[in-house]
Amino acid sequence: MQIFTCPFCGPRDEREFHFVAEQGKVRPDTTQSVSDADWAAYLHTQRNEKGRVREVWMHTTCDEVFVMERHSVSMEVLATTALRKEST
Amino acid sequence: MTSFRMPTGGLIDRTQPISFTFDGTAYQGFAGDTLASALLANGVRVMGRSFKYHRPRSVWGAWVDEPNAIMTVSLDGRDLPNCLATTTPLEDGMQARSVNAWPSAQFDIKGGLDLFHRWLAAGFYYKTFIWPDWHLFEPSIRRMAGLGAVSHDVLDGYMSDQIHDRCDVLVVGGGPAGLVAAVAAAQSGQQVVLVDDHPTLGGSGYQYDRIEDMDPQGWVAAQVQALTAAGGRLLRGTTAFGVYDHGLVGLAEAGPFGTAPRLWRMRADRIILASGALDRQITFANNDRPGVMSLFGAAEYLARYGVMAGRDIAVLSNHSFADRVTQRLTDAGARIVPVDPVTDTPRVIGVKTLKAIDTGTRTHPVDTVLVSGGVTPLVHLWRHAGGKLDWCDQRQAFVPGAAPKGMVAVGAANGTFDLEPALEEARGVGAAETTTRPSCSIKLTRLVPKLGTTARQWIDLQHDVTLKDIEMAARENYVSVEHLKRYTTLGMASDQGKTSNMAGLAAMAAVQDVALPEVGTTTFRPPFVPIPLETYHGRISGELRNPVKRLPLEARHRAADAALCEYGGWLRPGWYGSGDPKQHIQAEAKMARETAGILDGSPLGKIEVMGPDAEAFLNFVYYNTIRTMKPGQIRYGFMLTEGGIVYDDGVVSRVGQNRFIVSCSSSHVDGVRAHLEAWRQDGNDPDRIFVHDLTQHWATVTVTGPKARDLVGALGLEVDLSAAAFPHMTFREARFHGHTVRIARVSFSGDLCYEMSIRASQAERLWDAVVAAGQAVGAAPIGIEAMSILRAEKGYIIIGKDTDGETMPHDLGVSAPRDRKTAAYIGDRSLQSETAQEACRKTLVGLAVAEGDAPLVTGAHAITTGGSPRSVGYVTSSYFSPFLGHPVAMGLIEGGAARIGETIEVWHDGERRTATLCAPCFYDPDGGRLHAG
């Protein structure tokens, strides 16, 4: 079992987390015309990289969504960053 | 029967005799024995029959590497199959039976199978039983092969505890190296846990006369004392069976016989692997005969249990470390005949009793043959963690190479086979010093298996794989080590090839005439030893794994004799009253149409969405337009996935300009909350939207039926309930005994209906008042089953029941937002795809049956007529309507909405019926009763 670090709660068991999406995917502006190919790519195409990956995860016990950078082969967690902007 | 027990020596307690039986014969051992050591002490050699050929087999090793001595053991009415005799501590009254042998291991009636070995080589069943069908032969082959049978009785209390723990340093292995490493680590101030799979610490230490000028027992005791004094913890009888992601080590701690091992999920900053080493098998003719044993296994039997493996012993070894063991056996009174496996071609003579060894030039009459073809470090955990292995020519073994993060190997596991250098190395590593592998004094001659002989030379004792099988696999081009393994099943038995893998690799290297490291190794996977599934499972099952959500009104429902069942994660009344459920459900549904029904609707989602961007957010999240809603209004809508599939349905109430309540389906609340949170935080400004799930904080009492207005009016809520003042799809706030009650005019039944929500602490008070008021109008509580009938009469859907993973909103007849909504919303673009536009999509329809016919079966398929019928949809909901007096049903049928009036065939379980497609609304189609003006 892996240990993920929620930016808000600290290190927790992987079972408390839920994968949301690969980071960096932008939803096409659907009020404008979007081609089938672009929409299909948004829906279905994943980078699924080998090595360092950036993903959006949710810590289901606190409901916070954050970016996790990890290594998809070694499973090492390299960094977790809050999506929330810094409070001022 | 002669005793092989020494008068003194070993860790056994000779003052505590223990009685046990094996295959029905009574024997005696001592406290501290294992089943195997006690049997050997009694001169019992044949302990089982081999997996495939039913050859008589005895023990090879003295611990977890044992491939042969597998037994079914009973004690105090508890029956455990596949116990390893070498690791099962002997207890008084144990009854052990050999497996794969009948009536006994000594006289197995299938022993004759061995004569047919020529036709039973590797892959024989792939080649032999192809025609006409493997499945014809499979049952009888499975009966012939295999190990112990699982008892049909459930073992009471066979349940594993599971513990999560951590430490600075985890030392795996309680032999000399592990002990000093643990002591050094603890004394340097680190939190240390030492695990060892033996009940008694010390590992192979008892094979030495002296350790650091002390007798081994005294030395081990001193280390244990030093470790505990420095705060270290000890887990005896505990196997580290696997290393998993992020340094998690699985530990299985054995309990008393017949109990499930306790699981420790241990996380350590540093793991010191001191798991020791094993003997390597040597392949020679008949090397599987009872009496052929591991040399170091024999040393363990002598050192720990005071048992001599034999009296006239041939020792086959190719290395210098064998001398120490040979000397101890000689000192204990054995006569030793050295045989050189490199130059000689040995062959064992004797079947159940070993008679002699033929070296090719002469025959030595011996009763035992001890074998050591080298020393193999136990690197399983090293490989689990991703550590690399290096081939060492001097040791003729794979030794730990590039280390995985946080792991270091010491002692024999690291190839440091000499005692003193191992202790020095382990002390350094324990104290976190950087060390390099010490040199090793072993002198070893390379052994090459002798190919092409007619005699069978065994490689995998547990799966009956011989050198010939390896040669054949190579001939048939299964040369990759992973192919070889799967084709011959080499190393795939429950011992996971602890003795056979190296011998198999050496054989393949010889066949291909390459160096052993070029063959490579197969993947080492957890668990290191077989672990009962219960250990992974533990107590987390049923309600502990998936707790039900409970209603604030549960006590009231129980008092009213409700049948409480799980619906979408909630424990809620299905119906009220004992006896035939169907009668109660039908009566409740009828009453709700005639007077009124009172339903506990508390599980209904109540997720508040607030903030300046709440309106735009919900407008995006919902298929339907939310922006145009006025405060006080309620709107029914769908949430879609980005794929355009209906994910949830429910109503949204606009409480104020910046405040909404999302009443999603009862079973979807957690999912919808996560869905809203993910979109809120990833794609929106989370400081301008707040999502707050209050489902559990509010109880909801629903009153539905023509008498609902009278009933609610009697509660004294001081709200004008007239249709003009309080129309359908609006809500009002009122006070009930000083507490806010939110009354929503929404309906899941199709009748006049009020949903009253109040804080959970006041639920019983409101419920009692409603039930009391209900008596005056002939209304009473109804369960969710009756409500399911009411909503089906009206054609109201349940997501996931009347929809599936392909259903889009227009398939349910709701296409206005798709055609008119201009703002972006989740799933919008998917509704414009080619698939979404197809005419043959499955759409929701009603299904009517002929007068007097029984209801259709839910799940029955609509089929095409003609030669080879094909499914064109299925029945999603079907009930008998007590109010209407006939069945009602809905279904998802291809092109259904355009085929209203057509009659289709419906197939279920071999029976064909007909149904007529109609609009999915059987009750009050013009809405007069719903609006109840």
Q: What is the ipTM of this complex?
A: 0.95
Strands B646-656 and B753-759: unpaired
Burial class of residue B443 (count of CB atoms within 10 Å of its CB; 0-12, 13-18, 19+): exposed
CATH topology of domain B838-931: Elongation Factor Tu (Ef-tu); domain 3 (2.40.30)
Exposure on the CB side of residue B725, measured as CA atoms within 13 A? 7
Residues paired with B693 in a beta bridge: B607
Q: What is the pLDDT of residue B1?
A: 42
Establish if B675 touches chain A: CB-CB under 8 angstroms.
no
Q: Given B267, B682, B829, which is nearest A20 (Cβ)?
A: B682
Q: What is the pLDDT of residue B130?
A: 65
In SS3 terms, B303-322 reads as: HHHCECCCCEEEEEECECCH
In SS3 terms, B418-453 reads as: CHHHHHHHHHHHHCCCCCCCCCCCCCECCCCCCCCC
Asked if B283 and B184 touch (Cβ cutoff 8 Å), the reply is no
- Domain A3-25+33-82: give its CATH code: 3.30.2270.10
- Apex CA B411: angle with CA B64 and CA B447, to 5°? 70
Could you tell me what percentage of chain B is helix, strand and coil, using 3-state DSSP and rounding each to the nearest 5? 30, 30, 45
Q: What is the pLDDT of residue B141?
A: 67
**Token pair belonging to B560:** 């009213």
In the A/B pair of chains, how many CB contacts fall below 8 A?
A: 58
Establish if B406 touches chain A: CB-CB under 8 angstroms.
no
Q: By C-alpha distance, which of B693, B676, B673, B692 is closest to B684?
A: B676
- Domain B549-603+697-791: give its CATH code: 3.30.1360.120
| Average pLDDT, rounded, for chain A | 92
Domain ranges in chain B are: 1-153, 458-519, 549-603+697-791, 607-693, 838-931
Helices B581-594 and B784-794, packing angle to 10 deg: 50
Q: Which residues 6+ apart lie within 8 Å of A40 measured at CB?
A: none
Cβ separation of A63 and B643 shorter than 8 Å? no
Q: Given A39, A42, A83, which is nearest B681 (Cβ)?
A: A83
Mutation site, A3, A65, A70, interface B, largest B CB count within 10 A: A65
Q: What percent of chain A has pLDDT over 90?
A: 89
Residues paired with B742 in a beta bridge: B733, B757
d(CA B57, CA B289): 6
Structure-token match 């609707």, residue found: B601
DSSP 8-state secondary structure symbol assigned to residue A75: -
CB contacts, 8 Å: B246 with chain A:
1-3, 75, 77
Q: What is the pLDDT of residue B651?
A: 97
- Domain B607-693: give its CATH code: 3.30.70.1400
Cβ separation of A65 and B265 shorter than 8 Å? no
Cβ separation of A31 and B677 shorter than 8 Å? no
- A41 in helix, strand or coil? helix
CATH topology of domain B458-519: Arc Repressor Mutant, subunit A (1.10.10)
Mean pLDDT per segment of 10 residues, for chain B of length 933 residues?
85 97 96 97 93 90 94 92 95 92 77 72 68 71 68 83 96 98 98 97 96 97 98 98 94 94 96 96 95 97 97 96 95 95 93 93 96 96 95 95 95 97 97 90 92 89 91 90 88 87 92 90 90 89 87 98 95 96 98 98 97 97 97 97 97 97 94 94 91 96 97 95 95 96 97 97 98 97 98 96 97 96 97 95 97 96 90 97 97 96 95 96 93 82
Other Cβ atoms less than 10 A from the Cβ of B277: the count is 25
**Token pair belonging to A17:** 């987390």
Cβ separation of A42 and B248 shorter than 8 Å? no
Q: Given A2, A18, A58, which is nearest B246 (Cβ)?
A: A2
d(CA B418, CA B816): 83
d(CA B786, CA B598): 11
CB contacts, 8 Å: B623 with chain A:
none
- Can you give the C-alpha Rg of chain A in angstroms? 15
d(CA B391, CA B377): 11
Q: Which residues 6+ apart lie within 8 Å of B59 measured at CB?
A: B36, B40, B47, B66, B68, B69, B85, B86, B293, B297
**Report field, pTM of the whole predicted structure over 0.90:** no
CATH topology of domain B1-153: Ubiquitin-like (UB roll) (3.10.20)
**Token pair belonging to B395:** 């040791």
Q: What is the pLDDT of residue B435?
A: 82
d(CA B539, CA B676): 33
Strands B356-358 and B347-349: antiparallel
**Token pair belonging to B317:** 């070894």
d(CA B325, CA B800): 70
CB contacts, 8 Å: A71 with chain B:
none
Q: By C-alpha distance, which of B766, B784, B781, B788 is closest to B597?
A: B781
